Homo-oligomer: A and B are copies of this chain.
Amino acid sequence: MTPTRELLRRDAAYDRWGEPGAGEGLGPAAEAMLRERIDPGEPCVSVPLEAVDVAPATVLPDAVVAACGGEDAVSTDDEDRIRHAAGKGYPDLIRMRSGRIESAPDAVLAPPDAAHVAATLAACADAGVAVVPFGGGTSVVGGVEPERGGFERLAALDLTALRAAAVDPVSMTARLGPGLRGPEAEALLNSEGFTLGHFPQSYRYATIGGYAATRSAGQASSGYGRFDDLVTEVELTSPSGTLRTLETPHTAAGPSLRELVLGSEGVLGVITDVGVRVRPLPDRRRYEGWFAPGFGEGIDIVRDLAQGGELPDVVRLSDREETRVSLAMSGIEGIKRSGLDTYLRLRRRSDGCMLIVGWEGERDAVERRRQLTTGMLRARGAVPLGASAGESWERGRFEGPHLRDVLIDHGILVETLETAHAYARLVELYAAVGDALAGAIGSGGGRGVVMCHVSHVYRDGASLYFTFLTAARTGSEIEQWRELKGAACEAIVATGGTITHHHAVGRDHVPYMEPEVGALGLDVLRAAKERLDPAGIMNPGKLLK
């Protein structure tokens, strides 16, 4: 049998989102837009992996190595340690590129199954070894930061080997191992005629365990539901033992322990098995572009769709800025840019907002739902851009993080953050966060772009996803990032929005958990942690402090 440490993945770049060379470069239109809107930054190049400065590893106790499955299940290779030393947030990439990472795990543990996870956690608790559970490593909020929490030794616990899968076609459920990446899980399900329907932007690398631990939301969340909506049962392996919820469509047996495990971000234990609802593989997918008169009007439109029960499976509404930038960066294939301008001007939508809508499922149902929604879109003043705009979105749906790599290469600070609120306060939240980001960029003396979209729509409210760009301050990018991120978070908290709709808390949002759940709420979460992880070894510094 292959030693599990040889399963550890090295296919993505250590200092970028994806595999080296992935993604498309900036076209001339995008280059021009950047020159026009943003002060030029200094190109940002990476040190080679061999030159990354990593402290020597402290040796883990033999009992930990034995519990994990022996030497075959443990790597102390520097490349593996570096690859498990950060997630994929902007500060993570900057640290990797500079070659100055603050900390790295002393070893990467690759237990072959849940029983070895349990033994490993017990041994680590005994020996005082901190543990960072590691799935796809795609956290953008410092969720896999190798913080030691006062312990001398730290291990990353990589779930790659836990990739079992079993489908129940009658109940339309599946049990999936936490180490399965999005495309791996999807391929397994597709081969039996099903889909999970969960496509976050991190899809190519993120894992089932990570989806569950962070309450991920996919691009088709309006149709399929957020990941936490899909979960029917879950197993948490903690230092105190294993907690498993029943396989049942619903229960009234007390507070939901499933909902305590979901979102627990590795601080209570390791998610070692996930049961999910799956759907029949759609025989039809249709995505379309529309132009709404404005962002506020667009929000009213998607609200009407949601509240009327006619929500498409994919809904994405860009504000004016994101619409302009998207068109400048990529255009819409199939519609000549100049022709589009004329078309929109004639329809008085030159200043409008791009709305992507999409349906997936059985052919007749897609067509029926599409007709209902599009009739309503026309009635509310939206104008169609046709399927080509939708297909253009579809082709680029996982490309955002690759584009971020290219922008960072160009010396640009680029970051995203997200929140959500009830409709009654959504526009207020949009303005507050946008103003805070623009103000922080301006007070740093720079120019920039702040843009936003709505991509997760509910009956009572929606998410807001912000992207902001400005020239990076070379050498102090992380301080600069902290100022901008902090300004946005303060604005979110002041307006009563949630600090995170789907990126999770990680390390970056820890200071905002008290406004989110209150001091007593934090205390209750800490009480649960003390029971499951009395030694406090699990993912120090994340979620709760």
Known: A171-B460, A250-B501, A460-B277. A528 touches B521 (CB 8 A): no
For the complex, is A27 an interface residue (Cβ under 8 Å from B)? no
Number of copies of this protein chain within its complex: 2
Q: Does A497 contact B (CB under 8 A)?
A: yes
Listed stretches A37-45, A63-71, A420-428, A438-446; interface member? A420-428
Min distance, Cβ A388 to any Cβ of chain B, angstroms: 28
Chain-B contact segment, one of A12-20, A234-242, A315-323: A234-242
Chain A contributes a number of interface residues (CB within 8 A of B) equal to: 91
| Residue A248 interfacial (CB < 8 Å) | yes
- A contacts, CB < 8 Å to B: 168, 170-173, 214-217, 226, 228, 232, 238, 240-265, 268, 277, 279-280, 303, 307-309, 361-362, 365, 420-424, 456, 458-463, 496-505, 509, 513, 516-521, 523-528, 530-532, 543-544
A173-B422, A215-B252, A255-B261 given; name 4 further pairs at CB < 8 Å: A171-B460, A247-B421, A249-B458, A250-B461
Q: Are A521 and B245 in contact (CB under 8 A)?
A: yes
Q: Are B517 and A524 in contact (CB under 8 A)?
A: no
Whether B462 contacts A424 by the Cβ 8 Å rule is no
Partner of A520, one of B232, B243, B247: B243
Question: Which residues of the other chain, B, contact A362 by a CB distance below 8 angstroms?
Answer: 308
- 7 closest A-B pairs (Cβ-Cβ)? A259-B259, A249-B461, A215-B252, A249-B458, A171-B422, A251-B498, A256-B259
Pairs across A and B, CB under 8 Å, 25 listed: A168-B422, A170-B422, A171-B424, A171-B460, A232-B422, A240-B520, A242-B520, A243-B517, A245-B517, A247-B421, A248-B421, A249-B421, A250-B420, A250-B463, A250-B498, A250-B501, A251-B500, A252-B504, A253-B499, A253-B505, A254-B516, A254-B525, A255-B262, A257-B521, A279-B307
The residue in chain B whose Cβ has the minimal distance to the Cβ of A280 is B307
Contact A516 B253 (CB under 8 A): yes
Q: Across the interface, do B517 and A528 meet the contact criterion of CB distance under 8 Å?
A: no
Decide: A217 and B252 in contact? CB cutoff 8 A.
yes
Separation of A526 and B310 alpha carbons in the complex (Å) = 42
| B residues in contact with A243, CB < 8 Å | 517-518, 520-521, 524
Tell me whether A264 and B260 are in contact in the complex, defined as CB-CB below 8 angstroms, given that A246-B498, A524-B528 are known contacts: no
Give the distance in Å from the alpha carbon of A500 to the alpha carbon of B238 in the complex. Answer: 27
Given contacts A214-B252, A247-B422, contact A257 B172 (CB under 8 A): no
